[in-house]
Amino acid sequence: MAYVYFTRHGQTIWNVENKICGATDIELTELGHKQAKALGQEILKQRLQIDEILYSPLVRAAETARHISEVTGIPMREEPRLKEQNFGKYESTALDGAEFKKAKANFINHFEGGESMLELAQRIYNLLDDIKKEAGEKTYLLVAHNGISRVINSYFYDMTNEEYAAFGIKNCQILKYEWK
């Protein structure tokens, strides 16, 4: 069987403050660094066979990948397509804000100053299609963001709009997806 693994970066201060990070480059907190190192230890403990780590260029994901790589010895490289969605004018605003929730329901529309959900899905689906071509040859760990986790989950599983909007994973939680 061929797999791809996904994890979300470690905790940031904006995660703690319930703010939308999006494409804004936010550093990990002290706990975020510890979470990333602990995930590396968990990968070793579970003996996950991962050939390479691909990570988002945003510092919170890059640092998470670096810690995992240092603990496990798995090589890593930046993958620009894993960058979080640009939420435009909503970045740094409350994650549970009413205006943002309403805007999120309109997949086709661009967030003012940002990108649409469909643009995000196109770039992530293209990346997954490229990775799938190598399935069986290489197993990757993708280190990215919560918004990216939704798109990846929708690539492997059908989801309603409501399920898509509600989907998310915790910082440094790891998910495993099987290629079909």
Spatial contact of 168 and 152, defined as CB atoms under 8 Å apart: no
Pick the catalytic residue from 9, 63, 67, 79: 9
Residue 110 annotated in active site: no
Residue 148 and residue 145: Cα distance in Å, rounded?
A: 5
Convert 62-100 into a string of H (helix), E (strand) and C (coil).
HHHHHHHHHHHCCCEEECHHHCCCCCHHHCCCECCCHHH
Residue 9 annotated in active site: yes
Pick the catalytic residue from 63, 84, 91, 145: 84
Spatial contact of 24 and 56, defined as CB atoms under 8 Å apart: no
Burial class (CB in 10 A: 0-12, 13-18, 19+), 59: middle
Q: What amino acid positions are annotated as catalytic residues?
A: 9, 84
